[in-house]
Structure 1
Amino acid sequence: MTTDTGAGTESDRAERNTAIVRTAMRELFVDGDLTALDRYWAEPYVQHSPQLPNGVDALRTAVPRLQGFSWEPQRTAAQGDLVFTHSLVHGWAPGPVVIVDVFRLENDRIVEHWDVVQDLTLPEATANGNPMV
């Protein structure tokens, strides 16, 4: 479902959406700037993460409670109105985790979010010796 009517090619839109997500996440989670919610998120904000309820106010409540939080995006991809980030995160769980976030944007605002969270396993402890991020 795409309601974005912005001009430009699909590649332009993917690039713009990726820049919005990276800036939004950095400002909110790295800089701790709660006003980023007013600039980059929109209601109704649909949350699919099992740890958070729907709505921007849920983020407004959760972010200040995060202790020692860091978000280190390793790669991003975009398709249509979706942006995917693959990141190393500290402070979301007791130990470091690897998170794949999926964001849906509408009119240049984040309106929906999914995530997949895994505990970080170091390469030497994996069956293949490859890093997770």
Structure 2
Amino acid sequence: MKDDDQARRNIGTVTTAMRELFVEKDLTALDRYWAEPYVQHSPQMPDGLGTLRAAVPGLEGFSWEPQRVAAQGDLVFTHSLVHGWGPTPTVIVDIFRLEEGRIVEHWDVVQELVPPEETASGNSMV
């Protein structure tokens, strides 16, 4: 039961952190939910929280719509539909690693949203 409790807490931390930072554009969320050293594996972003601090205020029309969220150990996975990160709707899988309840590492996979009728399978990406 302890692992389930930790997974629920980690999911709550990540979903609250993402909502407060990216949707509400509350930069103080970085101080509450992230910690340095922050290791960034996204190919366009360097390590550290400075990039997020600089990028968030300039996001126009941004929305983050998590479709699936799961946790395993110290990792939380979100599968989301995002508007305003790029010129077209985007599907993003984010993987966050937490230490002592704070986000300390991040990986992502980013794809432009393709409508189901244009996919080889006819299935939705989200």
Is the structural similarity TM-score above 0.5? Answer: yes
* Aligned counterpart, 1:94: 87
**TM-score, length-normalised on structure 2?**
0.97
Distance in 2 of aligned mates of 1:113 and 1:127: 30
Q: TM-score, normalised by structure 1?
A: 0.92
Q: Which residue of the partner structure matches residue 72 of structure 1? A: 65
Instruction: Specify the code of the residue in structure 1 equivalent to 2:30.
Output: L
Q: Is 1:44 aligned with 2:46? A: no
Where does the alignment leave 5 or more consecutive residues of structure 2 unmatched? none
Give, in angstroms, the shift of residue 91 of structure 1: 0.9
Which stretch shows the higher mean deviation, 13-22 or 58-67?
A: 58-67
Question: Aligned pair 1:13/2:6, yes or no?
Answer: yes
C-alpha displacement of 1:45:
0.3
How far residue 122 of structure 1 moved from its aligned partner, in angstroms, is 0.4
What are the Cα deviations for residues 57-112 of structure 1, in whole angstroms up to 9, with x where unaligned?
A: 11101111211111100010100000000000011111011000000000000000
Separation in structure 2 between the aligned mates of residue 127 and residue 84 of structure 1, nearest angstrom: 25
Q: Secondary structure at the match of 1:44?
A: strand
What is the percent sequence identity of the aligned residues?
A: 74
Q: Which of 35, 49, 58 is equivalent to 1:56?
A: 49
Structure 1 residue 52 displacement after superposition: 1.1
Deviation at 1:128, TM superposition (A): 1.1
Q: CA RMSD in A?
A: 0.8
Offset of 1:50 from its aligned partner? 1.1
SS, match of residue 57 in structure 2? helix
Instruction: Give the number of equivalent residue pairs.
Output: 126
2 CA distance for matches of 1:48 and 1:65? 22
Deviations 1:22-64 (A, max 9, x none): 0000000011100000000000000011111111111101111
Aligned twin of 1:123: 116
